Amino acid sequence: MNDELGAAFLRHLAQTSPVPLGLRIERAEGVWLHGAQGQRYLDFISGIGVAALGHGHRAVLAAIERQASRYLHVMVYGEYILEVQVELARRLAQLLPDPIEQIYFTNSGAEAIEGALKTARKFTGRAGFVAFEGAYHGDTTGAMALAGNPAFRDPFGPLPGPVLHLPYGEESALAAIDENVAAVIIEPVQAEAGVRIPSVQFMRALSERCREAGALLVFDEVLTGLGRTGRLFALEHFGVTPDLIVLAKALGGGLPLGAFCGRPQLLEVLAHDPPLGHITTFGGHPLSCAAGLAALEVIVGEGLAARATAMGGMLKERLSALAGGPLVAVRGIGMLLGLEFATAELTNRFVRDCIAHGVITNWTLNAECVARLAPPLILAPDEAAFALDVIAQAVGRL
Peptide bond into 274 cis (omega under 30): yes
Which of 216, 303, 227 minimizes the C-alpha distance to 260? 216
Which residues are CB-contacts of 16 (< 8 A; sequence separation ≥ 6)?
none
Mention every residue, 6+ apart, whose C-beta is less than 8 A from residue 198: 168, 169, 188, 189, 238
Provide the edge-to-edge strand list for the sheet that holds 128-132. Answer: 102-106, 258-262, 244-247, 216-220, 181-186, 128-132, 163-166
pLDDT at position 2 is 67
Helix axes 286-301, 304-320, angle to 10 degrees: 70
Phi/psi of residue 268, nearest 5 degrees? -65, -20
CB 78, CB 298: distance < 8 Å: no
Q: What is the pLDDT of residue 78?
A: 86
pLDDT of residue 37: 86
Q: What is the pLDDT of residue 16?
A: 85
| Cα–Cα distance for residue pair 265/271, rounded to 1 Å | 11
pLDDT of residue 243: 98
Handedness of CA 116, 294, 375, 254 (dihedral sign): negative
Q: Quick one: how many helices (H) and strands (E) in the chain?
A: 13, 15
Torsions phi, psi for 229 (to 5 deg): -95, 5
**Euclidean distance between CA atoms 335 and 341, whole angstroms:** 19
Sort 244 into a burial class: Cβ within 10 Å, 0-12 / 13-18 / 19+: buried
End-to-end CA distance of the chain: 27
Q: Which amino acid is at 79?
A: E
| pLDDT < 70 positions in the chain | 1-2
Residue range 227-274, pLDDT digits in tens: 999 999 999 999 999 999 999 999 999 999 999 999 999 999 999 999
Residue ranges of domains in the chain = 19-49+303-396, 58-301
Distance CA 45, CA 192 (A): 13
Mean pLDDT of the chain: 96
pLDDT of 1: 64
Strands (E), 90-243: 102-106, 128-132, 163-166, 181-186, 216-220
| pLDDT in the model for residue 98 | 96
* CATH for 58-301, options being 3.10.20.600, 3.40.640.10, 3.40.710.10, 3.40.50.20: 3.40.640.10
DSSP string, 164-207: EEE-TT-GGGGGG--TTEEEEEE-SSBTTTTSB---HHHHHHHH
Q: Quick one: what percent of the chain has pLDDT higher than 70?
A: 99
Q: What's the one-letter identity of residue 267?
A: L
Residue 19 has a pLDDT of 84
Report residue 222: phi and psi, to 5°: -55, -45
Amino acid at 30: G
Q: Where are the beta strands (DSSP E) in the chain?
A: 25-29, 32-35, 40-43, 102-106, 128-132, 163-166, 181-186, 216-220, 244-247, 258-262, 327-333, 336-341, 359-360, 362-364, 367-373
**Hey, what CATH class is 19-49+303-396 in?**
alpha beta
